[in-house]
Amino acid sequence: MQGQGVVKGYAIGRAAIMSAAALEVVHYRIAEQDVEAECERLKKALATASGELQAMAVSLPDDAPRELGPLLTVHSLLLDDAALLQETCDLIINRHYNAEWALTTQGQLLAEQFSVMEDEYLRERGADIRQVIERVLRVLSGSTALLPSLEAGDAGDSLIVVARDISPADMLKLRGARFAAFLTDLGGPTSHTAIVARSMNVPAVVGLGHIRMLVRDGDILIADGFTGAVLVNPSELVLQEYRQRQAAYAGDRAELALLRDAPAVTLDGIQIKLEANIELPEEAVAALQAGADGIGLFRSEFLFMGRRDLPSEEEQYQAYASVVRTMAGRPVTIRTLDLGADKTLDGDVTVATNPALGLRAIRYCLANPELFATQLRALLRASLHGHVRILIPMISHMHEVRATKQAIEAACESLEASGVPFARNISLGAMVEIPAMAIAIEPFADALDFLSIGTNDLIQYTLAIDRGDSEVADLYDPMHPAVLRLIAHTINSAERAGIPVAVCGEIAGDSRVTRMLLGLGLTEFSMHPQQMLDVKKEVRLAHSNALRVKVASALNRAERIDLAALSN
Ligand code: PEP
Ligand code: MG
């Protein structure tokens, strides 16, 4: 069977099918005189399920994934929603449905409302509705067992959970038992099964369609978290092949872990800086644990999203300062608000003709001077605690650089006037993510302290391919020579101007592209912390100067750069 691999790794084990009350719901009509009692039964079940979730959220074991607490709270809040109770009771009162039937009907309606939302993340939140309703159905049926009591057999001594979907609360129950993999009918890369499985480091394949119906308890399964393939009752020969792959992968991970404290130096002695991209302040800990040389990109807009109000200067200051303190003297590059396109404030209903080309990022900040000033003051204050660098997104004109410098100067003056301590002479850099800036980079390189190439947007704008549109995803090609020439030109110009330059787009964390970037002369990479050791391994096996010669000659003539040609 084929699904989407969302957590890498191989697993071999016996299937343990998770119960799905939603699939076994009985439908019957109740008599008029029982309506009130049925509503009461529903009300109690909702309250019990919500109470269980709240109790779990406050008594999480120390080693539980940190996402679980907030997820459980959200689930219990969904159940406390008065509209859910009222609308489900209406179905009992008006149509005489039994409580289970009324609840699944109401749940389907809600899940459908989510399923038509444009945003992929919100679309997947329909799964939360299904999961909490599943929980109430279990309370109504009086059964709490999730999994059959299976003896793990001779298939590698492990069990693989097969489910329609797995809620965060179920995950918590399953956590202690060390399952080999999670396989679900539903879900996508940002579903909670994926998020939590990733933090537990257990291979997972989601979106398998009907695996729960097609596989029986005790069937032998192979799960391939790389390709999303699931093999059911495979032959001994196939089992042997996967046991070998599993052992080889475990060996690779163990070897990689040894690299944490090893220097990122190429075979010809070039020192490479590996920094981390983070979205939330608490992720700085993972960056440090992965051995990051600093934070290369803190996407500050995540502090502003998913809430009704704006974070105050004090709240922002605390968030930035906590990252700076965690990184203990290492550079922390904080990007000013990059709102617009796919990242918007809650309740913002302005629809730009083309949001990716509209009032985004620095354009938005310069148009909202108060909001910008608040963030700049918080950044200047946080820089007292360590090494802060301000990074400006989406710059295309030199006058935007000048306006930003004036805004920083004004923020310094206002702090000074009110006697609030801060550090002056903070370094200022810009994202290179608009082709116009990359082509005419020289004045920017002279006016700024550092540059950071945002390849996610640079590719989008160079090739005119919406980075979030799956219909044109095959044309989104980081190896297009036009993209690579823009990166090369930016790196060479920064070198000439004597300022540092990094790449912080997704390609910096893709170890298949590491050699290409080294060949372009890159010495600073910023990526998600979990990608760092893979990239470090590539760096340590590469000969930077040899790659520079190969890439330079390929850049001018190739139709598309062939990564295979860059291997040793
Ligand atoms: C980029 O565009 O490459 C980048 C790092 O910024 P974001 O992905 O946040 O747009
Ligand atoms: Mg960008």
Task: Identify the structural domains of the chain with CATH numbers, from first to last.
Answer: 4-19+146-238 (3.50.30.10), 32-141 (1.10.274.10), 257-566 (3.20.20.60)
385 is catalytic: no
Note the maximum CA span of the chain: 85
Nearest-angstrom CA–CA distance, 218 and 240: 19
457 is annotated as contributing to ligand binding: yes
For residue 416, the number of C-alpha atoms closer than 13 Å in the C-beta half-sphere is 8
Give per-residue pLDDT as tens, 227-282. Answer: 999 999 999 999 999 999 999 999 988 888 889 889 999 999 999 999 999 888 88
Residue nearest to atom 1 of ligand 1 (CA): 454
Is the Cβ–Cβ distance between 402 and 443 less than 8 Å?
A: no
| Residues, beta carbon < 5 Å, ion ligand 2 | 433, 454, 457
Pocket of ligand 1 (CB under 6 A): 297, 299, 338, 433, 454-457, 504-505
Q: Is 433 annotated as a binding residue?
A: yes
Q: pLDDT of 484-535, one tens digit each?
A: 999 999 999 999 999 999 999 989 988 989 999 999 999 999 998 878 999 9
Structure tokens at 7: 């957590």
Which ligand is closest to the CA of 302, given by its number? 1
pLDDT bucket at 554, cuts 50 / 70 / 90: confident
With a threshold of 0.75, does the pTM exceed it? no
The pLDDT tens digits for 316-338 are 999 999 999 999 999 999 999 99
Centroid of ligand 2 to alpha carbon of 405 (angstroms):
21
> For position 61, what pLDDT does the model report?
78
Cβ density class 253-277: b for 16+ within 10 Å, e for less: eeeeeebeeeebebeeebebbbbbb
What atom of ligand 1 comes closest to residue 341's alpha carbon? Answer: 10
> What pLDDT sits at residue 14?
93
Catalytic choice (75, 192, 385, 543): 192
Q: How far is CA 322 from CA 315, 316, 465, in A?
A: 11, 10, 37
